[in-house]
Amino acid sequence: MALEQYNRKRHFDQTPEPAGKVERGNRQRFVVQKHRASHLHYDFRLEMDGVLKSWAVPKGPSLDPANKRLAMQVEDHPVSYFHFEGNIPEGNYGAGNVMVWDTGTWEPLGNPSEMLEKGDLKFQLNGEKLKGEFVLARMRSRRPGSKGTEWLLIKKKDHSVQPGYDIDKFDYSVLTGRSLDEIAGDEGSAEWQSNRKAATRKGAEWLSETLAKTKKTAAAKAKPVKKSSTAGRKAAGKKKDQQPGELDKTKATAIEGAYRSAMPSVIHPMLATLVDGPFNDDQWLYEIKWDGYRAVTFLKKSDARMVSRNQNELTEEFPEIARALEKLKVESAILDGEVVALDEHGHSSFSLMQQRTGMTNPGKFRSRDTSVPIVYYIFDLLYLNGYNLMRVPLEQRKEMLRHIVPSGTGLLRYSDHHLAQGTALFEVARESGLEGIVGKLRSGLYLQKRSREWLKIKITRRQECVIAGYTDPRGSREHFGSLILGLYDKQGKLVHVGQAGSGFNQTSHATMWKKLQKLRRNENPFGRKIETSRRPNWVKLELVAEIKFSEWTHEGESGEIKMRAPIFQGLRLDKKPRECVFEFPKPTEHAVREAEEESSAA
């Protein structure tokens, strides 16, 4: 099938799809695109003879040999269609939403042209999701009117077989990590992850309006809350009489637990414990979990200094935030919060934060994109006007904070909370496309360590990993194939947890390559051989990557734990490699009970 048929079906002044032309050469790549048009299906495409040979697979490919998938051969597509992801407008051929479900390279197991002509095309896939040997076999249909376009896509039995394969578990783009619904909400854009649009004024206001409505929505969805222990209620009742709102707005002298002291010069931020699900409890308050850079601010005599959780200076990274902080009407304060970049929907976007801090731009000097709007969500107050507040119950610290941080949609924002109804807020966060929520014990003190008195419940799985090396590229891919990732175990040993090759665009891929080349080393940091499909190369353990993945799996005879379908999200400026440790969710009920018992005993 020539590209004339592809071009004839499309009006390129009305669709974002690329116009078709035959390319020179053959890089033997493959792509699977999930396509929601009149019917949901998957488009399986192999790069051959300068075009993409294409089949529509209604149920999608499978790694289970028992699942023989019908594959209808359709018109050839141009090679430039390889990375197309976005929305085809109504009124156009194939109108609907397109996701790049998987990409990689393929190797024919024989002469590809002869096998295709014969109707028995055998090949091996080396993708992010699909691996191993497959066959496309043309059906010998005797059905009247058959055009001879019916094929079967079958997985061969090999090491990559997965019995009972469930394609719905891998419903995300290997380019951007988005779902098909998220792509559908992008109003026709077909962009890479790190090219996502920054927030417009309308987008930023949308988020504020959404959060303002959350209490009402949460109340409508709420289930009966779990009552705390008697000891927990007594402890909270004892402190309930103290009403900081009745005091002078910025005085801490009458608050139980506050004490006069010099301003601390170093704060180790309180960290939350990961748990496996949301919960309702009347002794807890719940906040949105923001996806950005944790920042502690030291404010003294109208001079603001911002530092990361590992004491790196952030003031010059976010000068507009620092200037806004210096206008707060306090003599001295220590604030804790998160700096986030907002996309056009008002969602916090880590990829946009990379763009804002210049981590996606190549070159010796980082080029910050100051057009990306950022805000500082402040959720805690640790020190105020000569008084240390870390021994003051959380709810009272937040009440004082509310008087200090201006209301509205400016650069500084009070991170509001919602009482008791954690499950309802979690569902609202999920529907709004946010990262998750954090539950905090209302009577809890500020502890400079990881604590069960703060519990984080994630909607998407993420993990900070050490970049230990990279693999050689395959086929036509430049620079490198995948990042080799590691985590430290309880004994301080670096453990291999997988490889991430998706999540990059051309710019971020080139940027990462330059960083890796400066850190090359010969020694394997894992101390033993690891399994990779391509030759590994090692680097100094200096870079930390944020990785999105679908689940933890146990692989091989040794049962080594690995991240399934890891996707690179960006580099972390605020984390040290040694902080990258395994983080598995703890049972929610146990963590809640332990936190309340510890607080009651304190």
Q: Which residue from 22, 25, 33, 129 is spatially nearest to 80, judged by alpha carbons?
A: 22
Strand 450-458 relative to strand 271-274: parallel, antiparallel, unpaired?
Answer: parallel
- The sign one gets for the Cα dihedral 174, 177, 182, 185 is negative
Mean pLDDT of the chain: 83
Give the helix, strand, coil percentages of the chain, each rounded to 5: 20, 35, 45
**Where along the chain do the CATH 2.40.50.140 domains lie?**
462-571
**Where along the chain do the CATH 3.30.470.30 domains lie?**
201-459+587-601
What is the reported pLDDT for 145? 60
User: Is residue 289 annotated as a catalytic residue, yes or no?
Assistant: yes
179-184: long-range contacts, CB 8 A cutoff, minimum separation 24: 179/99, 180/34, 180/36, 180/97, 180/99, 182/433, 183/85, 183/86, 183/87, 183/97, 183/98, 183/99, 184/36, 184/87, 184/97
Which residues of the chain carry a pLDDT beneath 70? 1-2, 141-146, 185-254, 344-345, 358-369, 408-409, 475-476, 555-559, 601-602
Q: Which CATH superfamily is domain 462-571 in?
A: Nucleic acid-binding proteins (2.40.50.140)
Q: Which residue from 464, 190, 507, 206 is spatially nearest to 355, judged by alpha carbons?
A: 507
What is the reported pLDDT for 451? 93
Retrieve residue 102's tokens: 């998987």
What is the reported pLDDT for 281? 95
Model confidence over 329-368: pLDDT tens digits?
999 999 999 999 987 667 778 878 877 876 655 443 455 6
Q: How far is CA 309 from CA 242, 271, 296, 338, in A?
A: 31, 10, 7, 10
Yes or no: say if 355 and 194 are a contact pair by the CB < 8 Å rule: yes
What is the reported pLDDT for 174? 80
- Could you write out the DSSP letters of every residue in 217-233? HHHHH--PPBP--HHHH
Q: What stretch of H or E contains 544?
A: strand 544-549
| End-to-end Cα separation, the chain, in angstroms | 75
**Cα–Cα distance for residue pair 179/189, rounded to 1 Å:** 14
Q: Which residue from 439, 406, 405, 411 is spatially nearest to 423, judged by alpha carbons?
A: 439
**In one letter, which amino acid is 231?**
A
Identify the burial level of 54 via C-beta atoms within 10 angstroms of its C-beta, where 0-12 means exposed, 13-18 middle and 19 or more buried: buried
- Number of Cβ within 10 Å of residue 282's Cβ equals 16
What is the reported pLDDT for 360? 52
**In one letter, which amino acid is 115?**
M
451-454: long-range contacts, CB 8 A cutoff, minimum separation 24: 451/270, 451/271, 451/272, 451/273, 451/595, 452/273, 452/591, 452/592, 452/594, 452/595, 452/598, 453/595, 453/598, 453/599, 454/270, 454/271, 454/272, 454/273
**In one letter, which amino acid is 359?**
M
Which of these CATH numbers, 3.30.470.30, 3.40.1280.10, 3.30.230.70, 3.40.50.1820, describes 201-459+587-601? 3.30.470.30
What is the reported pLDDT for 456? 96
Retrieve residue 109's tokens: 């197991």
Q: Which residue from 251, 341, 333 is spatially nearest to 296, judged by alpha carbons?
A: 333
Considering the candidates 34, 129, 131, 289, report the single residue annotated as catalytic.
Answer: 289
What is the reported pLDDT for 474? 78
Yes or no: say if 442 and 600 are a contact pair by the CB < 8 Å rule: no
Yes or no: say if 509 and 197 are a contact pair by the CB < 8 Å rule: no
